[in-house]
Amino acid sequence: MPSLNIGITGATGFVGRHLVADALERGHRLTAFVRRQPAGALDPRVAAVAVGDLGPETDWNDHLAGLDAIIYLASRVHVMTETVSNPLAAYRKVNTEAAVHMVAAAARHGVKRFVYVSTVKANGEETPWSPAEGGRPFGPDSPPCPVDPYGISKLEAERKLSEFATATGLELVIVRPPLVYGPGAAGNFARLVKLIGKGVPLPLGSVQNRRSMISVQNLADLLLLTVTHPQAPGQIYLANDGQDLSTPQLVRMIARALGRSPRLVPVPTALLRSLGRLAGRTAEVERLVGSLQVDSSLARSRLDWIPPLSVADGLALAVREYNPTAAQ
């Protein structure tokens, strides 16, 4: 793999930290665009450039000159809707407008390739699955149907970036990951691991679903491959670890990695959904009982990509901070 000069936004985030470590190990030179200095979370081998908040007015000056490629990881994920009058506008500023502004500056400075990290939410929130008929995962050609401002802003960025790439010849790659987990992950995955580690009974024993996930190590590996592979541009890649799990399977695998016994209580899925609606937690419950699968065959066939980690190995690494003896 050739050594490249790569610019990264979002380098200090969860995925960014793993991506930076992997890229440095492979001998790439990195420039991280951060809000302000000092960027203490960064490896000292990374050149940190303070550009302030990302948006349509970010002054890129000559910061992009000399870069071979850019990986756009920065993302507005959470907006407090009760304090923001227009949540979609808040998402668009970073996820859409800032990315479009940066890609235009990148083209002016001779950057050859732009990798935009989107989300499976650009496709939608769920896919059908049943024990009798199996599932129909999202693929690159699935009609997109985002339902929340985050997914809408990401899809808008994909379309505007694609228009720009077509008009200018800049090489664009779009990657839509599902749930990303790994060491240092926060959110629902971390909460689930903590509950399992504490031995809390979980009312998920009757859930029959399938969900795609990708370990942060596997995602970093794919992103770096899309930077260098000659066949990568002009495509949308969905990616997973290669094994979709039901929620009970996930609980059992996490419990095994923690050295705990899974405490799964069989509760009808319809009842869980009803309780979720009553509690105003419909979205959270659906992420546990619904299905969301992606088809990663394009990345595997076009790029010859093989995820470095299996699901079991990825989960074992992810839970080590909760059980240091795991995965040893």
pLDDT band at 39 (very low <50, low <70, confident <90, very high): low
pLDDT bin (cut points 50, 70, 90) of residue 231 is very high
* Residue pointed to by tokens 């009974």: 201
50, β-bridge pairs: 34
CA dist., res. 255 & res. 263, Å (int)? 9
Burial class (CB in 10 A: 0-12, 13-18, 19+), 80: exposed
Separation CA 174–CA 233 (nearest Å): 8
Contact 218, 294 (CB under 8 A): no
Give the per-residue pLDDT at 90.
87
Tokens of 324: 């240091």
Measuring CA to CA, which residue among 44, 45, 35 is closest to residue 13?
35
The more confident residue out of 327 and 265 is 265
Phi, psi angles (nearest 5°) of residue 91:
-65, -40
Q: What is the mean pLDDT of the segment spanning 90-106?
A: 93
Q: How confident is the model at residue 87 (pLDDT cuts 50, 70, 90)?
A: confident
Q: How far is CA 299 from the centre of its chain?
A: 15
Q: Work out the average pLDDT over 257-266.
A: 95
Pairing mode of beta strands 171-176, 113-117: parallel
pLDDT for position 84? 63
Average of per-residue pLDDT values in the chain: 92
Amino acid at position 275, single letter: L
The residue length of the chain stands at 328
Evaluate whether 269 touches 208 at the Cβ level (below 8 Å): yes
What percentage of residues in the chain have a pLDDT greater than 90?
83
Q: Provide mean pLDDT across the span 308-317.
A: 96
Task: Give pLDDT, residue 69.
Answer: 98
Distances (CA, A) of 2 to 23, 24, 224: 11, 12, 11
Two structure tokens written together for 3: 């050594």
Q: What is the DSSP string of 281-323?
A: -HHHHHHHHS-B-B--HHHHHHH----SS-HHHHHHHHTTTT-
Q: Is the pLDDT of residue 83 over 60?
A: no
Return the C-alpha torsion angle 12, 13, 14, 20, nearest 10. Answer: -40
Cis-peptide, bond into residue 268, ω within 30° of zero: no
Q: Is the pLDDT of residue 324 over 70?
A: no
Region 3-28 average pLDDT: 95
| 255-264 exposure pattern, b = at least 16 Cβ within 10 A, e = fewer | bbbbebebbb
pLDDT (0 to 100) of residue 58 = 93
Other CB atoms within a 10 A radius of the CB of residue 64 amount to 21
Active-site positions read 150
In tens, the pLDDT along 48-82 reads: 999 999 999 999 988 999 999 999 999 877 655 54
* Residue given tokens 């970093």 in the structure block: 220
* Per-residue pLDDT reduced to its tens digit, 179-222: 999 999 988 899 999 999 999 999 999 999 999 999 999 999 99
Q: Is 147 helix (H, G, I), strand (E, B) or coil?
A: coil
Is 72 within 8 Å of 9 (Cβ atoms)? yes
Residues 133, 71: Cα–Cα separation, whole Å: 38
Give the count of alpha carbons within 13 A of 182, CB side only.
20
pLDDT at residue 162 tops 80: yes
Whole-angstrom CA distances from 7 to 4, 33, 115, 242 are 10, 7, 10, 29
